[in-house]
């Protein structure tokens, strides 16, 4: 058990932080939403009703959408672009292949199953990380869109207006404002990490170069 916890400590810690943050978002969002309802003379929601409401789900998937977009873009851009001196980048002066042809590992028992099978499965597996992150972004985007549209329709009805249809809502500036306000911060934070890691260090972190490494060294090794 001790060995398992050590081997999976990073994932466990992040999932615990995620659960705590999600719980905090749900509780504080519930309180905020009920305060708004009471201020408008409407009955408050039970907690169970709030966490399946459009208001909560829209905010939840709005954030997930931007995070998965950031990770997908980062993975894809680092496959083709460089930043000299950053541990987050491949070395532009290294002409050797960054990843050997997976077909050369097809006869290794320890290789992942798609690598050993070959063909289209190996080709898809070669890009499976990017495909998975793109799929998570698209799923979160659609769920944000649907629930943001539900929330806007409910607000329109509460004010005596005809609600916009879901496809019409996709063209509304409110929806894209919600997305862009998160996208821009994700891209900025990633760029800041890439640049700061050229000149600054965090001893022991694989996201940092060794403390004594020159600023020009590219990659974490």
Q: Are residues 3 and 43 in the same domain?
A: yes
pLDDT digits (tens, 9 = 90+) for 42-54: 899 999 999 999 9
142 and 48 in a common domain: no
Report if residue 112 sits inside a domain: no
Whether the pLDDT of residue 63 is over 80: the answer is: yes
DSSP H helices, the chain, are 2-7, 9-39, 47-50, 54-78, 113-117, 119-125, 128-158, 166-169, 173-199
* Domain total of the chain: 2
Domain coverage including residue 177: 54-92+137-201
In whole angstroms, how far apart are CA 202 and each of 6, 45, 114, 185, 221? 21, 46, 36, 23, 14
Residues 3 and 48 in one domain: yes
Considering only residues 131 and 163, tell me which one the structure prediction assigns the higher pLDDT.
131
Do both 46 and 19 map to the same domain? yes
Predicted TM-score (pTM) of the model is 0.92
146 and 72 in a common domain: yes
Same-domain check for residues 197 and 142:
yes
Q: What would the mean pLDDT of 203-208 be, rounded to a whole number? A: 91
> Which of 40-44, 153-157, 201-205 holds the top average pLDDT?
201-205
Please give the C-alpha separations between residue 108 and each of 68, 97, 99, in angstroms, as whole numbers: 32, 20, 16
Query: Any residues with CB less than 8 A from the CB of 70 and at least 6 apart, and which?
Result: 183, 186, 187, 189, 190
Mark whether 173 and 147 lie in a shared domain. Answer: yes
User: What sign does the dihedral 91-96-97-100 (CA atoms) show?
Assistant: negative
- Considering the domain architecture, whether residues 45 and 146 belong to the same structural domain is answered as no
Q: What mean pLDDT do residues 80-97 have?
A: 87
Please state, for a pLDDT cut of 90, what percent of the chain lies above it. Answer: 83
Q: Is 219 left (phi over 0), alpha (psi -120 to 50) or beta?
A: left
24-39, pLDDT tens digit by residue? 999 999 999 999 999 8
Answer yes or no: is 177 within a domain.
Answer: yes
In this structure, are 4 and 85 located in the same domain? no
Same domain, 84 and 157: yes
> What number is the average pLDDT over the span 66-73?
97
Query: Domain for residue 191, yes or no?
Result: yes
Maximum Cα interatomic distance, the chain, rounded to a whole number of Å? 70
Domain membership flag for residue 116: no
């Amino acid at each position: 058990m001790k060995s398992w916890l050590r081997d999976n400590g990073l994932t466990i810690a992040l999932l615990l932080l995620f659960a705590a943050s999600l719980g905090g978002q749900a509780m504080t969002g519930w309180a905020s939403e009920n305060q708004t309802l009471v201020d408008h003379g409407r009955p408050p929601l039970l907690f169970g009703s709030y966490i399946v409401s459009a208001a909560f789900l829209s905010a939840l998937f709005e954030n997930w959408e931007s995070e998965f977009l950031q990770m997908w873009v980062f993975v894809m851009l680092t496959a083709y672009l460089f930043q000299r001196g950053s541990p987050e980048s491949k070395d532009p002066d290294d002409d050797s292949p960054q990843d050997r042809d997976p077909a050369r590992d097809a006869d290794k028992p320890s290789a992942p199953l798609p690598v050993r099978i070959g063909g289209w499965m190996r080709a898809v597996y070669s890009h499976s990380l990017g495909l998975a992150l793109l799929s998570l972004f698209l799923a979160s985007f659609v769920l944000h869109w649907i629930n943001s549209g539900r929330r806007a329709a409910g607000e329109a009805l509460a004010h005596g207006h005809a609600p916009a249809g879901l496809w019409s809502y996709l063209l509304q500036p409110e929806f894209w404002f919600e997305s862009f306000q998160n996208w821009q911060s994700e891209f900025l934070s990633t760029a800041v990490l890439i640049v700061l890691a050229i000149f600054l260090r965090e001893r022991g972190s694989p996201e940092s170069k060794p403390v004594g490494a020159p600023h020009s060294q590219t990659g974490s090794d």
